């Protein structure tokens, strides 16, 4: 008999009030009261993103089969577990189904809360939501699933799975040979994990598993496999409450008809054996629910685990990774075009950079693919273009999340999170016509970056480096990042305050003045703190260069660029 059913047991941590108080709730409570809760608030931002996608998989599954009133669509029949027994092939039916999906989304948004049909669906699949179970453990396989196939480790067959401890999947614990001051857990306590914690970290580990474990099913290609979320420059919209956050990211209508035809199939609608079989066959997820609940590993946890004793053995075997090339079914990431390397001439997800604000990628985020060659707009932004007219004048928060690895291709150990957010009005973000807000803001961002790169970096910092005879390669990079740090808050504030009725020329000019002030102030610090060597300078190509001549040249260039 299964234990700890996620439908009833509290395991999702959410913020419940304006004071920031948190509470752990069940799936049932979440969908009944999402309009009351503020946001997900788990152990880390990466964990929140992974859990968010599981919740979205539920919504995509339910509302691809039922409308906002809990009525099944007429375009296909459903079996006793609410699974479609047929697909839509007729083009007229497909068009009507698309219209119905839009109407469902609109009705949900106007209702402001989720209908009971979500929990009805969960009840139909109750046996798949037990964390600990001998048949269908949540996000895990059974012992028979794991051991009924040949396992290879470093080329040797008939090997056991990789064995890891709970502390290996708990992102709050850092392994060290020394006792860490203020460590949340110590010695054997590091492997003590509650059912609540285990649920959240299992979901996270499936998405962010690294390449350090070596056990693989022999039929697989024995390639370096990692969780799908690990490769993403994750993006999602955050609303004023959890209901709005979930619905803003629920993309009911896909960008192409072929994808709309695909049934939504989250992982719990497969058995563990089916998931392993699909991995070995190289089957790729073809729908959002399956993609959002994709497993990086076949994981076995002893169903007798009591949530009190140390969990010292979790058995793990790699599953085939998702092909990152042109995986445009994934809407929650930034894309990059590869001009060289193994993925040449294809788009792949691009991770966010630690300490690099998301506004610096504004063009990649917001400009439609048709505007710029070798650029792909994130699907979540494309979706916002579709629903902006339905939600009206609304201030969005676009959140970014990526996992930074250690740079070692043999392990890809996670070492840090890259997180950021951008506040912007939805009518600004979706004004993509040639003279609209998006192209104008994108131009302002590119001008800002060019001034920092060309005028401040090359004409000022590089010259200072030369007259000071600085050998360090980090001097210029560090000073550039200091300037970006000074710009981040003012630019984000300027962007968040833009309104559709504002004069574009006036607001862009306003930013140019602010930018000039910040850059000048940063450069002036060098002049104020200049020493004798700075004023003595050097002779370069027959001309004397010192802090004064460099500063004057810099001012001239800045004035030319920001007339």
What does DSSP assign to residue 119? H
pLDDT at 487: 97
pLDDT at 176: 45
Task: Write out pLDDT tens, residues 316-355.
Answer: 999 998 999 989 999 999 999 999 999 999 999 999 988 8
Distance from C-alpha of 203 to C-alpha of 68, rounded to nearest angstrom: 28
What's the number of CA atoms in the CB half-sphere (13 Å) around residue 9?
Answer: 18
* Contact between residue 132 and residue 301 where contact means Cβ atoms under 8 Å apart: yes
Residue 102 has pLDDT above 80, yes or no: yes
> How many C-beta atoms lie closer than 10 Å to residue 392's C-beta?
9
Helix 45-63 crosses helix 195-208 at what angle (to 10 degrees)?
90
Is 0.85 topped by the overall pTM? yes
* Contact between residue 548 and residue 561 where contact means Cβ atoms under 8 Å apart: no
**Contacts (Cβ under 8 Å, ≥6 apart) of 326:** 346, 347
pLDDT at 179: 44
Q: Domains of the chain: which residue ranges? A: 434-563
The confidence band for 181, taking pLDDT boundaries of 50, 70 and 90, is very low
pLDDT at 183: 44
Query: What is the H or E stretch that residue 343 is in?
Result: none
How are beta strands 395-405 and 234-238 bridged, if at all? antiparallel
Distance from C-alpha of 264 to C-alpha of 63, rounded to nearest angstrom: 10
CATH top-level class of 434-563: mainly alpha
- For the four alpha carbons of 314, 320, 322 and 323, in that order, the dihedral sign comes to positive
The confidence band for 416, taking pLDDT boundaries of 50, 70 and 90, is confident
Residue 258 has pLDDT above 90, yes or no: no
* Contact between residue 46 and residue 208 where contact means Cβ atoms under 8 Å apart: yes
Average pLDDT over the chain reads 91
User: What average pLDDT score do residues 478-492 get?
Assistant: 96
Cα angle 315, 319, 323 (rounded to 5 degrees) comes to 155
Distance from C-alpha of 256 to C-alpha of 30, rounded to nearest angstrom: 31
Q: Which of 531, 524, 507 is nearest to 558 (CA)?
A: 524
Q: Which of 444, 456, 443, 423 is nearest to 526 (CA)?
A: 456
130, β-bridge pairs: 5
C-alpha 354: how far from chain center:
13
pLDDT at 180: 41
Task: Write out pLDDT tens, residues 424-443.
Answer: 999 999 999 988 999 999 99
Q: What percent of the chain has a predicted confidence (pLDDT) above 90?
A: 73
pLDDT at 260: 82
> How many C-beta atoms lie closer than 10 Å to residue 124's C-beta?
15
């Amino acid at each position: 008999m299964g234990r700890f059913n996620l439908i009833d047991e509290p395991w999702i941590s959410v913020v419940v009030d304006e004071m920031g108080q948190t509470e752990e709730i069940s799936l049932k409570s979440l969908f009944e009261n999402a309009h009351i809760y503020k946001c997900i608030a788990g152990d880390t931002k990466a964990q929140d993103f992974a859990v968010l996608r599981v919740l979205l998989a539920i919504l995509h599954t339910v509302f691809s089969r039922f409308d906002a009133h809990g009525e099944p669509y007429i375009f296909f029949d459903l079996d006793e577990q609410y699974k479609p027994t047929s697909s839509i092939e007729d083009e007229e039916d497909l068009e009507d189904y698309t219209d119905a999906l839009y109407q469902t989304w609109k009705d949900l948004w106007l209702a402001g809360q989720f209908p009971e049909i979500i929990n009805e669906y969960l009840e139909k699949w109750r046996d798949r939501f037990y964390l600990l179970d001998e048949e269908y453990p949540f996000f895990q396989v059974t012992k028979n699933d794991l051991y009924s196939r040949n396992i290879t480790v470093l080329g040797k067959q008939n090997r056991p799975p990789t064995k890891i401890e709970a502390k290996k999947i708990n992102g709050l614990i850092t392994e060290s040979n020394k006792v860490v001051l203020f460590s949340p857990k110590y010695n054997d306590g590091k492997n003590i994990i509650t059912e609540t914690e285990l649920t959240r970290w299992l979901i996270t580990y499936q998405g962010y598993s690294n390449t350090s474990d070596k056990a693989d099913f022999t039929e697989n290609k024995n390639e370096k496999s990692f969780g799908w979320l690990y490769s993403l420059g994750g993006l999602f919209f955050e609303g004023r409450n959890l209901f709005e956050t979930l619905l803003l990211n629920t993309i009911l209508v896909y960008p192409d008809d072929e994808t709309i035809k695909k049934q939504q199939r989250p992982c719990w609608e497969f058995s563990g054996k089916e998931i392993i079989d699909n991995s070995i066959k190289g089957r790729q997820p073809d729908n959002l629910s399956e993609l959002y609940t994709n497993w990086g590993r076949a994981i076995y946890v002893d169903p007798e685990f009591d949530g009190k004793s140390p969990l010292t053995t979790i058995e793990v075997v790699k599953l085939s990774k998702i092909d990152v090339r042109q995986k445009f079914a994934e809407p929650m990431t930034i894309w990059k075009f590869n001009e060289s390397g193994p993925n040449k001439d294809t788009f792949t997800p691009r991770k966010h950079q630690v300490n690099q604000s998301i506004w610096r990628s504004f063009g990649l985020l917001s400009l439609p693919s048709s505007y710029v060659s070798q650029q792909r707009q994130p699907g979540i932004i494309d979706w916002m273009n579709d629903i902006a007219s339905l939600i009206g004048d609304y201030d969005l928060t676009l959140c970014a999340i990526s996992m930074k690895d250690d740079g070692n291709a043999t392990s890809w150990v996670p070492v840090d999170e890259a997180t950021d957010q951008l506040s912007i009005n939805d009518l600004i973000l979706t004004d993509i016509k040639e003279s609209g807000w998006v192209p104008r803001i994108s131009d302002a961002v590119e001008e800002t970056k060019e001034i920092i790169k060309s005028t401040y970096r090359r004409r000022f910092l590089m010259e200072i480096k030369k007259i000071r005879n600085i050998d360090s390669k980090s001097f210029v990079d560090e000073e550039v990042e200091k300037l970006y740090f000074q710009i981040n808050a003012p630019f984000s504030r300027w962007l968040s305050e833009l309104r559709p009725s504002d004069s574009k020329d006036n607001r862009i000019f306003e930013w140019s003045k602010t930018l000039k002030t910040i850059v000048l102030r940063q450069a002036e610090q060098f002049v104020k703190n200049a020493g004798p060597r700075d004023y003595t300078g050097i002779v370069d190509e027959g001309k004397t260069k010192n802090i004064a001549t460099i500063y004057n040249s810099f001012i001239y260039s800045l004035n030319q660029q920001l007339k």
